[in-house]
Amino acid sequence: MQVQDAFSVPRRALDVEDYIDIARRHKGWIFGPLFAAVVISVVGAFLWPDTYVSTATIKVIPQVVPEAYVQSNVNQAMSDRISAIAQTVLSRPVLTSIITTYELYPRERLRMPMEDIVEEMRRDIKIGNVLNVASTKDRVPAFQIQYSYTDRYKAQKVVMDLLSKFIDTNQRERSSSSLSTTQLLKDQVDIAKKRLDEVESKLADFRSRHQGQLPDEMAQNMQQAAALQGRSTALNAALSRVNQEKIMMESELRIYRDRLAALNKDISQETSGSTYAKSDRMAEAEREVRQLEDQLAVLRQHYKETHPDVQRTENLLSVARKKKEQIGKEEDAARKSAPERAASPQTVREMRDLEGSIRRVQSQIEAKGMESDEYRRELGKTDSAVKAYQSRLEGVPASQKEYGDLLRDSELAKAQHAELEQKMNRALLAQDMENRKAGENLEPLDPPSLPQTPTQPKRPVVVAMGSLAGLVLGVMFAAVREVKDTSLKNLKDVRAYTKLPILGSVPLLENDLVVKRRRRFAWFAWSLACLTGIVVMSGSIIYYYVTKV
């Protein structure tokens, strides 16, 4: 019968008895790694320094003054602001100062650069997100600061230092941000005020250069011009009326003079016939004066006093009157030299009445002349004023666009300045609120804790995990050895692989001395290993408690 190759024969299925037999055969390979793992895990767990975590909670105090009254200059979200403060607090200079002050990480400082130590400290510091912490009245937003270190007292001091830096940095950054906002608004207000002054200066200069020609004065100018036109019309009507009255008075004066001349002629004819020629000369002179006066009155109705025809007629009238006066003086002298004859009393009274009427009418004519001159002067002033207002109205369209642009710029500058000034006042009020610490602040809710028990390492967990790892490793070693061992272990293997009936079995016979020596060596080796492991574990435990105290 041909025997099959052992490597080509599939193994039989194992049962519980087989597994127990395998564990009995390889118990050294199973319990050896297990015991070594227990020793290593115990030693590692107790030589691993304790890590204590100190925790502090900071609450966010909302703004004391209602936002309806004072609006804060800082509008950054709470989480963003806390993140920004954390970046400042966890910066390299700050952490370096804390490490130097409290002499942290002494061993690491001997073998590592400061940058790596700072990074390690950043990993040990944890800043929780904003959360809601229950309070007696309501739920207030808060966040936590944690620091892990081997010395619990130093951990508490570091957390206390970080807590104070958080609060101080928050107050400083809020004040700085509020001050920056206020200063920015002040600068903007100054720029707006300068712009407003420039526009107002241009507007004032424009108004001074176009006095009376401004578009907003157009209605007033039109009213004034219309009033002056009415005044000019009234003056012309009054001047015409005065001239008519003067002409009537001059006609009345001529009648009186003609009557007086006729009486004088009659008296002269009665007294002496030699004066007849002279009376004719007087009548001619008076006729010439009347004609010139009538002609002057007509010219004055159509022309002004400065017209050449009016001035020439006035000169001729003056010459004619002088001639008349000269003839009158000659006739008076002739009458005085001639023998006088008394005139009748009625004639004398009539002559006196005529002379009185003549003087009265002459006075009225002179008064009307003065009134006429006053009307002409006032009419000239009125015409000049009308021309001035007309020139203003004609100049309005040319300056209307420029004036409108200046007014629009002025209104915009005033509105911008008023708006910025209002914002600046609000910013100053918010700045005062920040200086009084009445804005949104940070305050400690829970002070830094002094940890009593370490958070790391979890020694039971470490020992259990190490033991489990050792057991798994031992089982793996036993499994590998079992797989490599192809010998027949028991009667089940013989029946399975030979397919022959078993008639009997012969036990393995060994030398008792060799067996005893082997057992004695095994027990010695295991005892020594166990004793060494117990000593090592006891030493590590004793070292832990000694150094902890």
Q: Does 252 or 194 have the greater pLDDT score?
A: 194
The whole-number pLDDT of residue 336 equals: 67
Q: Which residue has tokens 């040319």?
A: 398
Q: For residue 296, give Cα distances in angstroms to 17, 246, 374.
A: 167, 11, 18
* Mean pLDDT value across the chain: 77
Cα–Cα distance, 350 to 222 (Å, whole number): 59
Mean pLDDT of 279-300: 76
Domain boundaries, the chain: 1-48+470-549, 217-294+326-433
Instruction: Give yes or no for residue 382 having a pLDDT over 70.
Output: yes
SS3 140: strand
Q: How confident is the model at residue 389 (pLDDT cuts 50, 70, 90)?
A: low
The whole-number pLDDT of residue 248 equals: 81
**pLDDT tens-digit profile of 309-338?**
777 888 888 888 888 888 878 777 776 665
Mean pLDDT of 458-487: 81
Which neighbouring-strand residues pair with 58? 143, 444
Instruction: Give yes or no for residue 494 having a pLDDT over 70.
Output: no
Helix (H) / strand (E) element for 45: namely helix 27-47
Instruction: Give yes or no for residue 432 having a pLDDT over 50.
Output: yes
Mean pLDDT of 135-143: 59
Q: Does 22 or 188 have the greater pLDDT score?
A: 188
Q: Does 186 or 134 have the greater pLDDT score?
A: 186
The answer to whether 253 touches 293, Cβ cutoff 8 Å, is: no
Which neighbouring-strand residues pair with 456? 51
Instruction: Give yes or no for residue 259 having a pLDDT over 60.
Output: yes
Q: 199-211 burial, b for 16+ CB within 10 Å, e for fewer?
A: beeebeebbeebe
The whole-number pLDDT of residue 36 equals: 86
22-31, 396-405, 493-502, range with greatest mean pLDDT:
22-31
Cα–Cα distance, 288 to 319 (Å, whole number): 10
Give the rounded percent of residues in the chain with a pLDDT score beyond 90.
2
Instruction: Give yes or no for residue 354 having a pLDDT over 70.
Output: yes
The answer to whether 60 touches 442, Cβ cutoff 8 Å, is: yes
Mean pLDDT of 119-127: 90
Among 32, 23, 38, residue whose Cα is nearest residue 526: 32
Q: Which residue has tokens 């060596």?
A: 521
Written as six digits, the tokens of 173 are 């950054």
**pLDDT tens-digit profile of 220-246?**
667 776 777 787 788 788 878 878 887
The whole-number pLDDT of residue 549 equals: 55
The whole-number pLDDT of residue 267 equals: 67
The whole-number pLDDT of residue 160 equals: 92
What letter would DSSP give residue 485? -
What letter would DSSP give residue 437? T
Whole-structure pTM over 0.85, yes or no?
A: no
Helix (H) / strand (E) element for 57: namely strand 52-61
